[in-house]
Amino acid sequence: MLLSASNQTKAANLLGLSWNEVHTIQERAIQRGLRQRDLSDTTHLGIDEKSFLKGQSYGSLLYDLDESRVLEVVKDRTAEAATTLLEVIPIDQRAKIEAVAVDMWKPFIASIENTFPQADIVHDKFHVIAYLNEAVDDVRRKEHKELHKNGEDLLKGTRFLWLKNLENLTEQDETTFDSLQKEGLKIGRAWSIAQTFFSIWDYVYEGAARTFFDKWYFWATHSRLKSIINVAKMIKRHINNISTFLSHRITNARGEGFNSKIQAIKSAARGFRNFENYRIAILFHCSKLKLHPEE
């Protein structure tokens, strides 16, 4: 189907139509699809944000995590934006929502609590991992500066070494990594603390996970590593909504899978100045709507 091309200009040329005519066809297809969409079996949602213009311009997306589809896109990342997203779920079906995966962004959390008071909030584990990785990298940067002042460059060029998944290390990486770990560096401690926390998501029972967390929290907050301590305290504030993962096992990883497709759409259109055009393009390609004319 020519209209499925991410580049509307190319599709317009092939069909002998104007860009506006192609866009109107897509918009009408989306409207038809939304009228026919069935959300009766939707139980797990995800909210995430994407930039759509240069600078600090964001759009917020709602995902159906059960069906791996985008349900809606709205401008901004405010509580009002999140509420608009969540109200896509019909009132008579909202009690069926069991859990929502989301970052620790307070406006999103407040909107979820107001719209789906019965649903669990599950802080997306990949956002938590990102916070810990940022803390580890902060330790590396500061220690590198200290070492460099003393004429040592042990940590030069090692940034990605500390952020890589261990399974992705090359033999050379492993050799370098083992050598650095034996140096007793701060970055080695920071890395170990972060990596140890990641195992919390392997637990089955929340009680055991909480016991593990208490021990980890003591270790992290007594590490004398400021960035690690700060993230550990943040995690503690949100631990109730992190441990809910053990009951629902949901993340926004499926939503992240749309990143490349959305980026391709943006690149093909050379960016979007009009947010509604951005929304239509994402829904057209990522919503799994029935776009054919109604019979």
Report the CATH number that the domain containing residue 54 is assigned in CATH.
3.30.420.10
Q: Which domain holds residue 44?
A: 40-124+251-257
Please tell me whether residues 133 and 242 are part of one structural domain. yes
Q: Is residue 265 part of a domain?
A: no
Please tell me whether residues 120 and 162 are part of one structural domain. no
- Report the C-alpha dihedral over residues 48, 266, 29, 72, rounded to 10 degrees: 10
Please tell me whether residues 91 and 109 are part of one structural domain. yes
Q: Is residue 31 part of a domain?
A: no
**Alpha carbon distance 85, 63 (integer Å):** 10
Please tell me whether residues 130 and 244 are part of one structural domain. yes
Distance of CA 94 to the CA centre of its chain: 23
Please tell me whether residues 129 and 244 are part of one structural domain. yes
Q: Is residue 20 part of a domain?
A: no
Coil, helix or strand at residue 102: strand
Coil, helix or strand at residue 121: strand
Closest CA to 133 of 177, 172, 187: 187
Please tell me whether residues 112 and 63 are part of one structural domain. yes
Domain boundary among the residues 248, 267, 284 is at 248
Please tell me whether residues 69 and 129 are part of one structural domain. no
Please tell me whether residues 159 and 214 are part of one structural domain. yes
φ and ψ at residue 53, rounded to 5 degrees: -135, 170
**Alpha carbon distance 248, 277 (integer Å):** 34
What is the model's pLDDT at position 191? 96
Q: Is residue 19 part of a domain?
A: no
Please tell me whether residues 196 and 85 are part of one structural domain. no
Please tell me whether residues 119 and 143 are part of one structural domain. no
**Alpha carbon distance 267, 170 (integer Å):** 33
Q: What is the pLDDT along the chain (295 residues), one digit of tens a residue?
A: 444 445 555 665 556 566 667 778 888 889 999 999 999 999 999 999 887 766 567 889 999 999 999 999 999 999 999 999 999 999 999 999 999 999 999 999 999 999 999 999 999 999 999 999 999 999 999 999 999 999 999 999 999 999 988 788 888 888 999 999 899 999 999 999 999 999 999 999 999 999 999 999 999 999 999 999 999 999 999 999 999 999 999 998 877 677 778 777 776 655 566 788 888 888 988 999 988 776 5
Q: Can you read off the two tokens belonging to residue 175? A: 């050799």
Q: Is residue 287 part of a domain?
A: no
**Alpha carbon distance 126, 108 (integer Å):** 17
Please tell me whether residues 65 and 113 are part of one structural domain. yes
Q: Is residue 33 part of a domain?
A: no
Q: Is residue 60 part of a domain?
A: yes
Q: Is residue 155 part of a domain?
A: yes
Q: How many domains would you assign to the chain?
A: 2
Q: Can you read off the two tokens belonging to residue 272? A: 């979007």
What is the model's pLDDT at position 189? 96
Please tell me whether residues 105 and 132 are part of one structural domain. no
What is the model's pLDDT at position 243? 97
